[in-house]
Amino acid sequence: MLKVKEVSELIGISVRTLHHYDEIGLLSPEKMSGSGYRLYTDTDLEMLQQILFFKELGFPLKRIKDIINQPSFNRKEALETQRKMLLEKKKRLNQMLTLIDKTLKHEKGELELSNKERFEGFDFSKNPYEEEARERWGNEAVDKSKKKVSSMSTSEQKEMEGKMNAIYRRLAELRDSSPTSEESQEAIKEWYDFLNSNFGHQYSYEAFKGLGQMYVADERFTKNIDQFGEGLAKFMSEAMTAFADKNK
């Protein structure tokens, strides 16, 4: 069992960080000495490794706490998911390297670079790995929408629900047409805007696409959506994918 300085030196994080993690309930050591000293066990260190990987991937500490406290949390699975996420991060890094090379060529007058192209290697999606985390450890869109809704007044809830239903009904009318038609895409845009302005969560196009995929993968979504019309979830999923791919 290690005390704070020992852990701090072993890993290279500050004692203050360890205190902070204890305070917020993220990592509280399994044992305390009689005089109130924190004593970290091997198990604590195993969990700390998990935390540091999630932190490296840009997850806020609160979210990390959520995740590791899931009853279904399993370290081996987590490592595999984190591995996948790190590979994606590596891909993004490669995109940035490609962008630098292009910019250097541009500086040398070897190629043209539009303003848009100048920033194509950057991706400021909120947290690109949150979608994956959600799939594995919790469906935050559903959870968050439930929470957000429950904190509204009744009339606010009715208004929002009315808007949502209207969009669903509109989409249901369109579900026999092509998901990529102009009308369908317009309606999906409305859905995209609605989600982004009412649920305290900002969807990237990629995340929106992932959400659409979940509509058909997750029974709860499919059932809920298909109330408005048989096959609506599938239609929306396809339309959302098309929307995201068109706008990326």
Partner DNA sequence: ATTGACTCTCACGTTACGTGATACTTTAAA
Partner DNA sequence: TTTAAAGTATCACGTAACGTGAGAGTCAAT
The site map against a second copy for 11-30 (x = CB under 8 A) is xxx-----------------
Is 195 strand, coil or helix? helix
4-8 long-range contacts, Cβ below 8 Å, gap at least 24? Answer: 4/37, 4/38, 4/40, 6/40, 7/40, 7/45, 7/48
Q: Which is nearer to a second copy, 36 or 87 (CB)?
A: 87
Give the Cα-Cα-Cα angle 68, 74, 79 (nearest 5 degrees): 90
Burial label for 207, CB within 10 Å (0-12, 13-18, 19+), is buried
Q: Is 100 in the site for a second copy (CB under 8 A)?
A: yes
Distance CA 46, CA 50 (A): 7
Determine whether 69 is exposed, middle or buried from the number of CB atoms within 10 Å of its CB (0-12, 13-18, 19+).
Answer: exposed
Please give the Cα distance from 167 to 160 (Å, whole number): 11
Binders in 140-179 for a second copy, by CB under 8 A? none
Q: For a second copy, which residue of 5, 37, 56, 156 counts as binding (CB under 8 A)?
A: 56
46 contact choice in a second copy, DNA, none (CB below 5 to 8 Å, kind-dependent): a second copy
Q: How far is the CB of 120 from a second copy (least distance, A)?
A: 10
- Candidates 24, 93, 166, 217; binder of a second copy (CB under 8 A) is 93
Q: How far is the CB of 105 from DNA (least distance, A)?
A: 28
- The angle subtended at Cα 87 by Cα 83 and Cα 91, nearest 5°, is 165
Rounded least distance, CB 10 to a second copy, Å: 6
CB of 145 to a second copy, least distance (A): 23
- Is residue 217 a contact point for a second copy (CB under 8 A)? no
Binding site for a second copy (CB under 8 A): 2, 10-13, 42, 45-46, 49, 52-53, 56, 75-76, 79-80, 82-83, 86-87, 89-90, 93-94, 96-97, 100-101, 103-104, 107-108, 115-116, 118-119, 122-125
